[in-house]
Chains A and B, each alone.
Chain A
């Protein structure tokens, strides 16, 4: 992966009237990465994307793409970006192929590239079907084909898996991986669900209420996740009562007792306490907090 910054925002703030929508957001997206931009609905994801595409303009020199200031190099920068904002923008009265041909005409792209894109997103068989009759998954794939038509270096996708069934999500995921691995693209993908992008992203940025709360590799996100002890006993309720009486912070999730992990000795003490009071300990394991829970805890700050 290259170390060159493809997207860089420097303390980017944006207001709609008096409402501060983005508050000092400093994004760093490196070449060849798949950057998952996460946050709940209304966190500022789409606004950030609109600023990155110059649909909304940052007041000063705060946004840099491919190392250049966006406000002063709009056309040059947009030549290197393919985007899909909110839902795919498709002319429903035209076929999938005609949608691509129209875009090819606008961007002076050879028509041969249309067939290549149809093939890439597995829409060759449906190329002549009216796009209005496409399923949501097919529309999303056509939207990605439209974004890729002029062979951009950077792909910005705003919630591309929204409303898709599990198969559709897997298809999009595979397509994005293919684009990065085989074609060397950089992908910036937003989502409100970590689980949808967790398996494909290399980097993560978490935004809430306009503030960037976390930014790093997916591994770094795993590292900050809190370790927990998972305990299974013959009687969860009485085990919980016993542990609570002895000052432990206990939670029951399904058939497991969860206790924040402190140290190996601490774990041994808990085990000894349970056994001493005739509780049968079936299982005592160390686990990390589920990433989704971590995401929720970060965004609920």
Chain B
């Protein structure tokens, strides 16, 4: 356990100044600034809506683009960057010859990527809420302060986080296997596009493809909220695609360990 915790600290130490870590903070921040600026300059278009609907439109602007494209691409980039640090430095052999369990080194790296993803998604939710209130301060005619969306928004982002774990595990494995940028990035991007198409077409078995999970999670949430008779914004955290995502994540994580042990040492 000590080796695992030390490995996590080491992961942070060596990535703290790299884009792998900074992207988890900068991406939500930049996207928030851009969308907030857009809503501020076009506030008149949502002024007439209720507080709840204003939040819906505002957060929907983030979630639509994030669920389908940004989240998978960010995961592809982060998993690649974290493992590429070791590939570039020819570090795997050196790490595995240290007096630390190999499993601790591998799992710490995986957990660190999961942490970065969680950090990024949490920041997204936090920045959306902060931006909504900021918009209200800048334009008091807006009604963001009249409805508390934080609980729903954090739950939704938790759902997105769980839905993204399958993609994360697969991309983590790809970037362990291939040191070059094109293979994990290219395959990941292709699968993301394939996921978008199948999810949008409503293919019956789309839930079996991990790259559709963030989008399916949003779709199932929307479907549930719109079907609520009482008008409440309630939805299930765990749905079919979330279960599949978690199963894929667990299996790929375990396979990844054996693949990396066999492949890297030669």
Identity of the chain B residue whose Cβ is nearest the Cβ of A106 in the assembled complex: B10
Determine whether A271 belongs to the interface, using a CB cutoff of 8 Å to chain B: no
Q: How far is the CA of A154 from the CA of B14 in the complex (A)?
A: 27
With A89-B93, A89-B94, A91-B85 given, is the CB distance from A79 to B99 under 8 Å?
yes
Determine whether A92 belongs to the interface, using a CB cutoff of 8 Å to chain B: yes
Q: How far is the CA of A92 from the CA of B93 in the complex (A)?
A: 16
Determine whether A253 belongs to the interface, using a CB cutoff of 8 Å to chain B: no
Identity of the chain B residue whose Cβ is nearest the Cβ of A83 in the assembled complex: B97
Q: How far is the CA of A75 from the CA of B99 in the complex (A)?
A: 5
Partner of A93, one of B2, B7, B18, B265: B18
- Quote the shortest CB–CB distance from B39 to chain A (angstroms): 37
Query: Interface readout for A142-167 with B: 1 if CB under 8 Å, 0 if not?
Result: 00001000100000000000000000
With A75-B99, A91-B14, A94-B14 given, is the CB distance from A55 to B9 under 8 Å?
no
B91 touches A91 (CB 8 A): yes
Query: Interface readout for A91-134 with B: 1 if CB under 8 Å, 0 if not?
Result: 11110001001100111100000000000000000000000000
Which residues A45-90 have CB closer than 8 A to chain B? 50, 53-56, 74-76, 78-79, 81, 83, 85-87, 89-90
Residues from chain A with Cβ under 8 Å of B182 in the complex: none
B91 touches A89 (CB 8 A): yes
Q: How far is the CA of A8 from the CA of B90 in the complex (A)?
A: 28
Partner of B265, one of A56, A76, A78, A107: A56
Partner of B13, one of A55, A90, A92, A105: A105
Q: How far is the CA of A55 from the CA of B96 in the complex (A)?
A: 7
A108 touches B6 (CB 8 A): yes
Determine whether B98 belongs to the interface, using a CB cutoff of 8 Å to chain A: yes
Q: How far is the CA of A86 from the CA of B85 in the complex (A)?
A: 18
Residues from chain A with Cβ under 8 Å of B2 in the complex: 108
B17 touches A54 (CB 8 A): no
Determine whether B101 belongs to the interface, using a CB cutoff of 8 Å to chain A: yes
Partner of B17, one of A16, A76, A93, A105: A93
Identity of the chain A residue whose Cβ is nearest the Cβ of B6 in the assembled complex: A106
B89 touches A53 (CB 8 A): no
Residues from chain A with Cβ under 8 Å of B98 in the complex: 78, 106-107
Residues from chain A with Cβ under 8 Å of B97 in the complex: 53-55, 78, 81, 83, 85
With A50-B265, A56-B265, A75-B99 given, is the CB distance from A86 to B89 under 8 Å?
no
- Quote the shortest CB–CB distance from B118 to chain A (angstroms): 22
A105 touches B9 (CB 8 A): yes
Partner of A102, one of B13, B18, B99, B101: B13
Residues from chain B with Cβ under 8 Å of A76 in the complex: 99
Residues from chain A with Cβ under 8 Å of B85 in the complex: 91, 93
Determine whether B73 belongs to the interface, using a CB cutoff of 8 Å to chain A: no
Tell which of A50, A86, A106, A150 has the most Cβ of chain B within 10 Å. Answer: A106
Number of B interface residues at 8 Å Cβ cutoff, please give it: 25
Determine whether B88 belongs to the interface, using a CB cutoff of 8 Å to chain A: yes
Which residues B83-111 have CB closer than 8 A to chain A? 85, 88-91, 93-101
- Quote the shortest CB–CB distance from B265 to chain A (angstroms): 5
- Quote the shortest CB–CB distance from B96 to chain A (angstroms): 6
B10 touches A89 (CB 8 A): no
Q: How far is the CA of A93 from the CA of B14 in the complex (A)?
A: 9
- Quote the shortest CB–CB distance from A7 to chain B (angstroms): 15
Identity of the chain A residue whose Cβ is nearest the Cβ of B88 in the assembled complex: A92
Q: How far is the CA of A81 from the CA of B94 in the complex (A)?
A: 12
Residues from chain A with Cβ under 8 Å of B10 in the complex: 102, 105-106
Residues from chain A with Cβ under 8 Å of B88 in the complex: 92
Residues from chain A with Cβ under 8 Å of B90 in the complex: 86-87, 89
Tell which of B9, B14, B94, B100 has the most Cβ of chain A within 10 Å. Answer: B94
Partner of A85, one of B17, B93, B100: B93
Q: How far is the CA of A98 from the CA of B13 in the complex (A)?
A: 9
- Quote the shortest CB–CB distance from B201 to chain A (angstroms): 43
Identity of the chain A residue whose Cβ is nearest the Cβ of B2 in the assembled complex: A108
B100 touches A106 (CB 8 A): yes
B13 touches A101 (CB 8 A): yes
- Quote the shortest CB–CB distance from B53 to chain A (angstroms): 47
Residues from chain A with Cβ under 8 Å of B265 in the complex: 50, 55-56
Identity of the chain B residue whose Cβ is nearest the Cβ of A50 in the assembled complex: B265
B6 touches A105 (CB 8 A): yes
- Quote the shortest CB–CB distance from B52 to chain A (angstroms): 46
The residues of B with any CB-CB pair to A shorter than 8 Å are 2, 6-7, 9-10, 13-14, 17-18, 85, 88-91, 93-101, 265-266
User: Can you identify 19 A-B contacts, CB atoms within 8 angstroms?
Assistant: A16-B266, A50-B265, A54-B97, A55-B93, A75-B101, A78-B99, A83-B94, A89-B90, A89-B94, A90-B89, A92-B88, A93-B85, A102-B10, A102-B14, A106-B7, A106-B10, A107-B6, A108-B2, A108-B6
| Smallest CB-CB A-B distances: 5 pairs | A89-B94, A78-B99, A53-B97, A79-B99, A89-B91
Beyond contacts A50-B93, A101-B13: 16 other A-B pairs, Cβ-Cβ < 8 A, are A55-B96, A55-B97, A78-B99, A83-B97, A85-B94, A89-B89, A90-B89, A91-B14, A91-B85, A93-B17, A98-B14, A102-B10, A105-B6, A105-B9, A107-B100, A150-B99
The residues of A with any CB-CB pair to B shorter than 8 Å are 16, 50, 53-56, 74-76, 78-79, 81, 83, 85-87, 89-94, 98, 101-102, 105-108, 146, 150
